[in-house]
Amino acid sequence: MSVSITWHGHGTVSFLVGGKRVLVDPFFLPDNPAATIEADAIDAEYILLTHGHGDHVAHALSIAQRCNSLVISNFEICNWVAAQGHDNVHAQHIGGGFDHPFGRVKMTIAFHGSGLPDGSYGGMPGGFLMTLEGKNVYVAGDTAVYSDMKLIGRADLDLAVVPIGDNFTMGPDDALLAVKLLEPKVVIPYHFGTWPPITQDASAWGQRVLDETRSRAVILKPEETYYL
């Protein structure tokens, strides 16, 4: 079986694994100006949340309640989701992995914040290192570059998804450094182009990846899909 990834704009991606959708950080229209679909237009068996910021948990509850999705995140965010009335959650934490029906998910560190929209404490922000149908995939979440990405790169990554927007996360130069540390076969940039402070030329960045690293960048448009 194959795995595909779809970028939904901003920090939202989803993987289709064996016919099940694994949705990361759901943020759709009308709140997400980079999205082209509304949250009602997507179903997900699983929802993964990297951190508590509004542009990442925005539509988690509405989709989870409609689809009875299993929500996977850190302990604090899972408790918050349960307190909103959705108790189909699976809490993990930084460094911990678990074999879910769709594949293995390990939470990784991220350097960022994680406060929830209502002011609740969202624990530590994270990323996800996953094995999906034998493919090693890393979704960085919102983060600065950090040298321990070198350790994540030991997983022999088939795909890394990294922010390039700058301002809230690493920008193009640091994201290029991240690619050198992670050494993925393919890198997909995200968390850019949503609002003026994070406008970036993704094609130019992709060319730099090709010229300056051993990886290849795949630049998606919102709702475009790449097959691993």
Q: Which stretch binds Mn ion (CB under 5 A): 5-13, 97-105, 127-135, 200-208?
A: 5-13
Q: Which C-beta is closer to Ni ion: that of 111 or that of 226? A: 111
Q: Which stretch binds Ni ion (CB under 5 A): 59-67, 141-149, 172-180, 217-225?
A: 141-149
In angstroms, what is the minimal distance from the CB of 112 to Ni ion? 6
d(CA 120, CA 170): 25
Candidate residues 25, 45, 76, 142; the one interacting with Ni ion per rule CB under 5 A: 142
In angstroms, what is the minimal distance from the CB of 154 to Mn ion? 27
Neighbours of 212 (CB within 10 A): 12
In angstroms, what is the minimal distance from the CB of 53 to Mn ion? 5
Candidate residues 45, 55, 76, 183; the one interacting with Mn ion per rule CB under 5 A: 55
List the structure tokens of 116: 């929830």
Counting Cβ atoms within 10 Å, is residue 93 exposed (0-12), middle (13-18) or buried (19+)? middle
Candidate residues 8, 21, 53, 59; the one interacting with Ni ion per rule CB under 5 A: 53
Q: Which C-beta is closer to Mn ion: that of 142 or that of 183? A: 142
Binding of Mn ion at residue 166 (CB under 5 A)? no
Instruction: Concatenate the DSSP letters of all residues of 142-169 into one string.
Output: S----TTHHHHGGG--SEEEEE---SSS
In angstroms, what is the minimal distance from the CB of 194 to Ni ion? 12
Q: Which C-beta is closer to Ni ion: that of 16 or that of 61? A: 61
d(CA 3, CA 19): 9
Q: Of 151, 159, 109, 97, whose CA–CA distance to 133 is shortest?
A: 159
Binding of Mn ion at residue 142 (CB under 5 A)? yes
In angstroms, what is the minimal distance from the CB of 58 to Mn ion? 10
In angstroms, what is the minimal distance from the CB of 70 to Mn ion? 22
d(CA 159, CA 184): 5
Number of residues that bind Mn ion (CB under 5 A): 3
Contacts 24+ apart (CB under 8 A), 105-109: 105/48, 105/72, 105/129, 105/130, 106/130, 107/74, 108/138, 108/140, 108/152, 109/143, 109/146, 109/148
Q: Of 163, 201, 200, whose CA–CA distance to 179 is shortest?
A: 163
Q: 25 touches which of Mn ion, Ni ion, none (CB within 5 to 8 A by kind)?
A: none
Binding of Mn ion at residue 76 (CB under 5 A)? no
The conformation of residue 55, written as its DSSP 8-state character, comes to H
List contacts with Ni ion (CB under 5 A): 53, 142
